[in-house]
Amino acid sequence: MGICALAGAFFMPPAGIVFGHLAMQANAKGEAKNRGVSFAGLLVSYAITVLWILFFGAMFVWFPFISIPAGLMCLAGGIVGIVLGIRMQRGPNRSRWSPTESGWTIGVSSLVTFLSLALCVGSVLFFGLWASLGNEWNQSGNNTDQPYEYDDSGVFQGIAPSVADLSGGIPVGTTGIVGVDVASDAPRVDIYEDFMCPICLEFERVNGTDIDAMREAGTIQVYYHPISILDRYSQGTDYSTRAAAAATVVAELAPEYFLAFNAELYANQPLENSGGLNDDELVSLAIQAGVPAEVAVQIVDGRYAEWVAAATEQASIDGMNGTPTVILDGLVVDQREVQYFQPGELRAAFESIRASTGLA
């Protein structure tokens, strides 16, 4: 039985717990003489079971349907451990208490049971939330399922803004207005950002002024891609999607205030793992940016939520592997080559490229 406990520890830890308790009981009754092996099997089984719980507790963030059966197995092992621990406390003849013999196992078993139960409940709740959101969880915009409407050529067929191109880019011209006076003969710069991304905020702080200056001078054409890869960090409110959809409405209905609204979103960026800004706060920020009230009240109607999700998928196809991502004329700007979190580095790189191509 002790050997079974030790072997079970590595192949099925909850079973190892059961065999370990049975082996300890057999040793206490004098029916076996492998107390050391039995104790080792029991201890290792508990340790690996706890590691299982921790591992699958992390896994349910991505794969809750896997962690549910694992949690149930750990739960069963913990409950059996409690029962057998109580039986052991009564000693070989179950007529007297001997808590020093195995009383500690009840505490450990109780802890395993509690953690397993928490894992099961958390997994079920998370799985239900995931299912209710239409199978939406993506870390980098990659979603193997496509719950959106596409035609035979892969073009999104839902409600899409007329100001965006097929890649999801929203062009801003030399005057700062969406779709107006875009320098078509200049290198194209695509900027992929998530309004909940603190690194994007830092990118804007470091490079925003330089990008605006180059855009206004017509030395680059800028396409902004509001995407949503951080919804999982907004406590179920889908803040990244809501903020990106709101910015898209502004780009469509009040194009001259698109950049100002983006600036307000970053100036009031919520912390990750918070609920984000609510709808009223988004409307208020839009009005502060100059968006007419009759437009501001429309930015939270969710009309472009599906388009944002589809644009995020397209961004991954186009090379976006996190936010921020900068793509120059179809090529991703590698931070290892252009350290664009250092002031002036991005602008210097763009100007160098222009000079090398004879556009300066």
pLDDT along the chain (360 residues), means of 10: 53 63 66 61 69 62 53 61 55 45 50 57 54 37 44 73 94 96 93 97 97 96 97 95 98 98 98 96 98 97 95 94 94 93 95 75
- Whether the bond into 324 is cis, omega within 30 of 0: yes
Q: Which of 184, 135, 171 is nearest to 259 (CA)?
A: 171
What's the CA gap between 236 and 136, in Å, rounded? 11
What's the CA gap between 136 and 272, in Å, rounded? 18
Question: What is the 8-class DSSP label of residue 237?
Answer: S
Amino acid 27: pLDDT: 63
Amino acid 287: pLDDT: 98
Residue 128 Cα distances to 67, 98, 231, 254, 266, angstroms:
13, 45, 16, 38, 32
Q: What are phi and psi of 224, to 5 degrees?
A: -95, 135
What's the CA gap between 180 and 163, in Å, rounded? 10
Amino acid 46: pLDDT: 74
Amino acid 100: pLDDT: 43
Where exactly are the structural domains of the chain? 2-132, 170-356
Amino acid 145: pLDDT: 41
Q: Which CATH number is 170-356's, of 3.40.30.10, 3.40.50.720, 3.30.720.110, 3.40.50.10860?
A: 3.40.30.10
Q: Which helix (H) or strand (E) segment is 110 a member of?
A: helix 99-132
pLDDT in tens, 194-232: 999 999 999 999 999 999 999 999 999 999 999 999 999
As to burial, measured by CB atoms within 10 angstroms (0-12 exposed, 13-18 middle, 19+ buried), residue 234 is buried
> 101: helix, coil or strand?
helix
Q: Which helix (H) or strand (E) segment is 287 a member of?
A: helix 279-288
Contact between residue 144 and residue 232 where contact means Cβ atoms under 8 Å apart: no
Which stretches of the chain are assigned E, i.e. beta strand? 170-172, 188-193, 221-226, 325-328, 331-332
Contacts of residue 172, defined as CB under 8 A and 6 or more positions apart, other chains included, come to 178, 179, 182, 215, 222, 223, 224, 258, 259
Provide the token pair at 208.
């925003």
Contacts of residue 230, defined as CB under 8 A and 6 or more positions apart, other chains included, come to 194, 196, 197, 239, 240, 272, 323
Per-residue DSSP letters for 11-30?
A: H-HHHHHHHHHHHHHHHHTT
